[in-house]
Amino acid sequence: MTPQHLHAVANLWSLSGVWPNLLRASEETQESPGGDLGTVQAWRPGSGVHGGGTNDQILEAVLRNGVGRDNPYAPRVEKTRSTITWLAEHLDLPVVATAPVDEYLAQFRTAVPQLRPATALELAMWIGEQDRAVRKLLERGDDHDLIPATRCPRCDTAGSLAIRTSNPDPHLRPIICTQRACHMPGGIPSIWTRHQLMEALACSSTTTAPDGAPQPNSPSTSEEASPSQPSATGPAETGSPAPA
Ligand SMILES: [Zn+2]
């Protein structure tokens, strides 16, 4: 897989990892008692509860407070769902309006190897944006597991490499460089498979093979990190899917 494909798959796994948490948070918020609607209804002027006084100030206050208690997760669920559905259409995948987002993400992962590199990068950017938005709302960090003491074979920064840990298979977790300015040819944020990184480190005279560095025989992975931000082309929208 090309770096573009690696970013796409890594971001898809990352979003898959937090999506269930977002759904759960949204459902739990909806189920919580004491909704504002009831309050508004009870205080509605002329409802009889407070017979008489059409007190606009009271109504406004209730409505204002009520708005603040809306389910903060629902808009994110809908935005991400609509983006995923749009992407599925864009990629010519069969679109089922009611299909769970998880199902789409799995379909995307299956489809990635057949995508052109530019399309894979575009997908990576869109998914990365959704992943970051969901994680930010849930106050969850990215899926990067930093590898201390190893220098990036491209920018020579120590401790900047990170494993993206969302892929359930530790051997398929890519390694990225978390330095924003560290790019591969074509402006693609640096990313390697484990094997590719081993080769790059072997070729790098700066390598000191410190502890914690991924070794050919050791699945030193932790988990993956989030995709970096494809800086180049792509949907203009959120720019780079990068963490940090
Ligand atoms: Zn680097």
Cα 158 to averaged position of ligand 1 atoms, centre (Å): 9
Residue 170 identity = P
Helix (H, G, I), strand (E, B) or coil at 207: coil
Cα 209 to averaged position of ligand 1 atoms, centre (Å): 16
User: What is the structure's pLDDT at 236?
Assistant: 36
Q: Which helix (H) or strand (E) holds 5?
A: helix 3-31
Cα 114 to averaged position of ligand 1 atoms, centre (Å): 28
User: What is the structure's pLDDT at 33?
Assistant: 55
User: What is the structure's pLDDT at 36?
Assistant: 47
CA distance 224 to 176: 9
Helix (H, G, I), strand (E, B) or coil at 223: coil
Assess contact for 214 and 198: CB atoms under 8 A: yes
Cα 43 to averaged position of ligand 1 atoms, centre (Å): 60
Cα 18 to averaged position of ligand 1 atoms, centre (Å): 27
Cα 160 to averaged position of ligand 1 atoms, centre (Å): 6
User: What is the structure's pLDDT at 95?
Assistant: 76
User: What is the structure's pLDDT at 57?
Assistant: 54
Cα 92 to averaged position of ligand 1 atoms, centre (Å): 35
C-alpha torsion sign, points 67, 72, 75, 79: positive
| Residue that has been written with the tokens 């204002």 in this structure | 64
Cα 157 to averaged position of ligand 1 atoms, centre (Å): 6
Overall pTM > 0.75: no
The neighbourhood of ligand 1, an ion, using CB within 5 A, equals 152, 154-155, 177, 179, 182
CA distance 60 to 51: 17
Cα 69 to averaged position of ligand 1 atoms, centre (Å): 43
User: What is the structure's pLDDT at 94?
Assistant: 79
Give backbone dihedrals phi and psi of 52, rounded to 5 degrees, phi first. 100, -115
Cα 206 to averaged position of ligand 1 atoms, centre (Å): 13
User: What is the structure's pLDDT at 56?
Assistant: 56
pLDDT in tens, the chain (244 residues): 899 999 999 999 999 999 999 999 999 998 775 544 444 443 444 433 444 444 555 445 444 444 435 899 999 999 999 999 999 999 888 777 778 999 999 999 999 999 999 999 999 999 999 999 999 999 999 999 999 989 999 999 999 999 999 999 999 999 999 999 999 999 999 999 999 999 999 988 654 544 444 444 433 433 333 444 443 333 333 434 443 3
Cα 83 to averaged position of ligand 1 atoms, centre (Å): 31
CA distance 241 to 136: 13
User: What is the structure's pLDDT at 93?
Assistant: 83
Q: Output the 3-class SS for 56-125.
A: HHHHHHHHHHHHHCCCCCHHHHHHHHHHHHHHHHHCCCCCCCCCCHHHHHHHHHHHHHHCCHHHHHHHHH
Listing DSSP states for 22-34 in one string gives HHHHHHHHHH-S-
For residue 130, give the nearest of 64, 175, 197, 84 by alpha carbon: 84
* Angle (CA) 202 204 205, round 5°: 110
Cα 220 to averaged position of ligand 1 atoms, centre (Å): 19
